[in-house]
Amino acid sequence: MDIMEYIALRGSEVAREMERVIPKNKEPHAVYGVIWDLLDRKGKRFRPVMCMLSCETVGGDSKKLLLIAASIEMFHNFTLSHDDIEDNSEMRRGKPCLHKIYGIPLAINAGDGLFATVWETSLMLDMPPKKIVEAQRILADAFRRVMEGQGIELEWYRDNEWRINEQNYCDMVAGKTGALIAASCEVGALLGGGKKRQRRILSEFGNAVGIAFQIQDDILNIIGKEEKYGKEIGGDISEGKRTLMVIHSLEKASPEDKKRLVSILDEKTKDKQKINEAIDILKKYNSTEYAQKQAEKLVVKAKKGLEKLPQTEARQRLLELADFFINREF
């Protein structure tokens, strides 16, 4: 079974658990119908799968973690419903974003409903109270870091800030994307009975592959195929995002190209011709290739750290996931 089939199989376990927590016919439909519009689009669901695999890597029973795995997936979807509004995105998983279908108020409210359910679900876990509290502490810290990462990025747009270097980008992404993936791994290890050293190794692995995942997502937004990617190609240009590719191009570009790229990004245009012009500048300075290499370096380092743990099937699946993150097309 290849890694994609494996993720789909384990992800279906999480989907069933989410439906047990939030039945599809639950009322009011204005809340739960909107929530299931998003959840039924499936997504990759690799975060809860990584939580379960981390549990198994340290010798735990991942079946006992399905509720917390479902909580993690619901939190991720909560962030998507709000991020799409903040970024004024058009597409999510091949369909119009929730706020484009239902309007901003209902999309925000549905996200809030998911966030509330996250905490309710984690309390249903059949574990000693001390472990539940520690898992919630790890997740709460990750949720705060996700919010901070998003806030930093939004502030860059508000302040028209272009004095951003690669480290600034990585720090922001470590919060916005890496924190939840790292927490998924650490919580899995904690609830699986892992030692502090094992928890730390898995958390560091999750953070590194999380940053690599985001870099690859940025790359796909520029050179991916829309039918596979599930979001509009060039959407990051329309949103004026300071991706690693943009940062690299601005460092390498001629004054004329630098000025033009910033101008297009500042405009937040939907004009396809201008979007393609910006993409051509990124390609001209080999910025997509540079970003790809940085993502590959992160994954190599992450995999090396994971090899300190016992050799198990679960560990092998995590290693395969790391490779998938930088080779995927969606």
Report the topology of domain 3-327: Farnesyl Diphosphate Synthase (1.10.600)
Q: How confident is the model over 262-273, as pLDDT tens digits?
A: 999 999 999 999
Q: How confident is the model over 73-110, as pLDDT tens digits?
A: 999 999 999 999 999 899 999 899 999 999 999 999 99
- 3-class secondary structure, 95: strand
In 3D space, the residue among 105, 135, 94 whose CA is nearest the CA of residue 232 turns out to be 94
Residues of the chain with pLDDT under 50: none
Q: Which residues of 47-64 are buried (b: 16+ CB within 10 A; e: fewer)?
A: bbbbbbbbbbbbebebee
Give the pLDDT of residue 189. 98
Instruction: Give the containing element (helix H, strand E) for 58.
Output: none
Give the pLDDT of residue 155. 97
Kindly tell me the sign of the dihedral angle through the C-alpha atoms of 113, 119, 121, 124: negative
Contact predicate 42/11, CB 8 Å: yes
Give the pLDDT of residue 9. 96
The ranges assigned to domains in the chain are 3-327
Give the pLDDT of residue 32. 98
Query: How far is Cα 244 from Cα 290, in angstroms, rounded to an integer?
Result: 9
Give the pLDDT of residue 177. 97
| The amino acid at 73 | E
